[in-house]
Amino acid sequence: MVNFNVKDIARKLRRVYKTLLGYDFFIKADVEREYVALGSSYGEWNIIPEYISRDSVVYLFGVGEDISFDLQLIEKYGATIHAFDPTPKSIKWVKSQNTPNEFIMHEYGILDYDGFVSFYPPKNISHVSHTIIGGSTEEQECIKVPVKKMQTILDDLQHTTIDLLKMDIEGSEYSVIKDLSQGNIRPKQLLVEFHHRFKGVGANKTIEAIKTIKGMGYELFFVSKSGEEYSFVLKDYI
């Protein structure tokens, strides 16, 4: 007897429809690796655990109101987490949490330059995620938040390498990936949530970003069912 998962079928049908509209696509992993899922069902990410330890340098961009992934990295591997988010609502939420000493919050974001950027709020005020992509809200509703380049962040925190880099940064990932490709910073593992579903972005932008990442020496080892979360590992560590 075949066991059909109604939710999975519905998800695939939605993705096929969005693919026809140019806002989704299907891609498979390049390599098979043993990976583990960490975090809640909402904040879940997949990593290769053998490259994470107490001494790892971990940068997690995009906190929102879910640090389940962050906390499991601390609990399971003893890693110190550097979390980044310039969103006022996220900053306020983190301050209300009883976080361990290994969780370090930085109240700025990442982009391809040092300075400030306009941040547009979500249409649903109950949501937390802001984006640099305008058009969904009025100009006067945007806020200015601080951002830094990756190299600046490394210099400020006195790090020379990154073992694990996660980016869930609501459309800013494309600029950051381009900036990374033009430098020498190569995290061992790179986790990215792509936002091709956003109006004005589209699947082609994500496809090109993935090509850029692979051109930097990475292999894709995991793709989520939603087709939005991707996990990459440097070829040197395969």
Q: What is the pLDDT of residue 130?
A: 79
Q: Which of 64-78, 118-132, 178-192 has the lowest mean pLDDT?
A: 118-132
Q: What is the pLDDT of residue 40?
A: 94
Residue 218 above 80 pLDDT?
A: yes
Residue 87 above 60 pLDDT?
A: yes
Q: What is the pLDDT of residue 23?
A: 87
Q: In which band, very low, low, confident or very high, does the pLDDT at 44 lie, cut at 50, 70 and 90?
A: very high
Q: What is the pLDDT of residue 5?
A: 75
Q: What is the DSSP string of the chain?
A: -----HHHHHHHHHHHHHHHHTS------SS----EEES-SSS-EEE-GGG--TT-EEEEE--TT--HHHHHHHHHH--EEEEE---HHHHHHHHTS---TTEEEES-EE-SSSEEEEEBPPSSTT----BS--SSS-GGG-EEEEEE-HHHHHHHHT-S--SEEEE--TTTHHHHHHHHHTSS---SEEEEE--TTSTTT-HHHHHHHHHHHHHTTEEEEEE-TTS-EEEEEEGGG-
Residue 127 above 90 pLDDT?
A: no
Residue 150 above 50 pLDDT?
A: yes
pLDDT more than 70, % of the chain: 92
What is the overall mean pLDDT for the chain?
91
- For range 36-61, the mean pLDDT: 96
Which residue segments constitute the domains of the chain, with CATH numbers given? 34-111+152-237 (3.40.50.150)
- For range 199-219, the mean pLDDT: 95
Q: In which band, very low, low, confident or very high, does the pLDDT at 128 lie, cut at 50, 70 and 90?
A: low
**pTM of the complete model:** 0.91
- For range 129-155, the mean pLDDT: 81
- For range 188-204, the mean pLDDT: 93
Between these two residues, 25 and 76, which has the higher pLDDT value? 76
Residue 135 above 90 pLDDT?
A: no
Q: In which band, very low, low, confident or very high, does the pLDDT at 66 lie, cut at 50, 70 and 90?
A: very high
